[in-house]
């Protein structure tokens, strides 16, 4: 069980670092907003985070 938790934590940190490297601070804010919205079951905060990520993804390509 601790190995699975360690792998999941490492994966989460990796995704966070990739988003920050690729999209800068706004990408990190969007990811945090999406994560907090899902964990708190707050659809408004999760929606804001999701929309910000979609906007950042659509501008990068």
Q: pLDDT digit string (tens) for 10-57?
A: 998 898 888 888 888 898 899 899 999 999 999 999 999 999 989 988
Question: Does pLDDT of 61 surpass 90?
Answer: no
Looking at the structure of the chain, the number of domains it has is: 1
- Residue 48 confidence (pLDDT): 94
Question: Does pLDDT of 1 surpass 80?
Answer: no
Distance, CA of 24 to CA of 27 (rounded, Å): 5
- Residue 20 confidence (pLDDT): 83
Alpha-carbon distances of 16 from 12, 58, 60, rounded to whole Å: 6, 19, 17
- Residue 60 confidence (pLDDT): 62
Distance, CA of 50 to CA of 19 (rounded, Å): 13
- For the entire predicted model, the pTM comes to 0.74
Chain centroid to Cα 19, Å, comes to 7
Which residues span the domain enclosing 39?
Answer: 2-60
């Amino acid at each position: 069980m601790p190995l699975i938790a360690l792998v999941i934590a490492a994966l989460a940190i990796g995704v966070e670092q990739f988003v920050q490297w690729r999209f800068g601070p706004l990408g990190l804010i969007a990811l945090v907003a999406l994560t907090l919205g899902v964990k708190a079951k707050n659809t408004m905060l999760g929606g804001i985070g999701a929309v910000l990520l979609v906007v950042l993804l659509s501008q990068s390509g």
